[in-house]
Amino acid sequence: MPILEVKDIHKRFDRSEVLKGISFSLEKGDVLGIIGSSGGGKTTLLRCINFLERADKGTISVNGKVIFDADQHDLTVEQQRENQLNFGLVFQQFNLFPQYTVLENVELAPRLLKRYPDAEIRERSMSLLKRVGLDQKIDRYPCQLSGGQQQRVAIARALAMNPSILCFDEPTSALDPELTGEVLKVIRELAEAKMTMIVVTHEIAFARDLSDKIIFLDHGVIAEEGPAKQVIDNPQKERTKAFLNAIQK
């Protein structure tokens, strides 16, 4: 049984239909790369999965259990927040909480939601920060960190709530080129540790190496999908070829 099953997601903003029926599934431990040109619906799809947008139609299931059904409106806020915690999201703009230190950023949600005993929260947070290579900077504030460091804290923060699936929304797009490497390295290590992930990215080479499966999203539909190397190295559809050509120029 796939860990994530997305069925027929539609989303419309005013007059434009951004997602026109997206379906895919993801196996536990796999990495899904989502590529495509701007405005193709990549970010909207990720936001629908993370409950930041409400899809107009479709369902989302995790481990066989429907956690979102567009036709069902009677979900309590409580239930929705619980369902949401299946996912973690790393934003393009990091969105760290500026008034909290690195450690406080990571610990805030588990503490407020009393997920684990305090001592365990501290222990877990420290090990997550070690994992992203920032255990020496736990008392710094976000404004004292580089973009790459901030994004690595954001990854640790997302992992602190122990999500089943970690999502990345163009995690390196807001970074200076020399800082993307350190973030990609952390994501790669997570993939090696068999974290289930969905990565929306413009880094085609990275998506190719990292992903088990790639979806090429174009004008709100999945134009092509398949094993990563096949889609990137040997695309079948004209639109995919055109997109990859344009990006590599």
The amino acid present at 23, given as its one-letter code, is S
Residue 213 lies near another protein (rule: CB under 8 A): no
Least distance (Å) between residue 227 CB and another protein? 29
Least distance (Å) between residue 244 CB and another protein? 30
Residue 158 lies near another protein (rule: CB under 8 A): yes
Q: How far apart (Å, rounded) are the C-alpha atoms in residues 101 and 138? A: 7
Residue 109 lies near another protein (rule: CB under 8 A): yes
Residue 166 lies near another protein (rule: CB under 8 A): no
Which range, of 57-65, 75-83, 178-186, 239-247, touches another protein by CB under 8 A? 75-83
Q: How far apart (Å, rounded) are the C-alpha atoms in residues 55 and 49? A: 9
Which range, of 10-18, 35-43, 108-116, 190-198, touches another protein by CB under 8 A? 108-116
Q: Residue 61 corresponds to which tokens in the numbers above?
A: 């299931």
CA-based diameter of the chain, in Å?
55
Q: Which of 98, 177, 178, 193 binds another protein (CB under 8 A)?
A: 98
Residue 79 lies near another protein (rule: CB under 8 A): no
Q: How far apart (Å, rounded) are the C-alpha atoms in residues 46 and 171? A: 13
Least distance (Å) between residue 94 CB and another protein? 8
Q: Which of 70, 85, 126, 244 binds another protein (CB under 8 A)?
A: 85
Q: What is the CA radius of gyration of the chain?
A: 18
Other beta carbons within 10 Å of 95? 13
Contact status, residue 158 vs residue 129, Cβ threshold 8 Å: no
Q: Where are the alpha helices (DSSP H) in the chain?
A: 42-49, 77-84, 102-112, 118-131, 147-160, 177-192, 204-210, 228-233, 238-248
Which range, of 1-9, 37-45, 85-93, 195-203, touches another protein by CB under 8 A? 85-93
Q: How would you list the strands of the sheet with 31-35, edge to edge? A: 87-90, 165-169, 196-200, 31-35, 213-218, 221-227
Q: Which of 23, 63, 79, 95 binds another protein (CB under 8 A)?
A: 95
> Which is nearer to another protein, 6 or 228 (by Cβ)?
6
Closest CA relative to residue 84, chosen from 56, 113, 108: 113
Residue 88 lies near another protein (rule: CB under 8 A): yes
Task: Determine the size of the site formed for another protein (CB under 8 A).
Answer: 29
> Which is nearer to another protein, 42 or 213 (by Cβ)?
42
Given the rule CB under 8 A, which residues bind another protein? 50-52, 77, 81-82, 84-85, 87-89, 91, 93, 95-99, 108-109, 112-113, 141-143, 157-158, 160-161
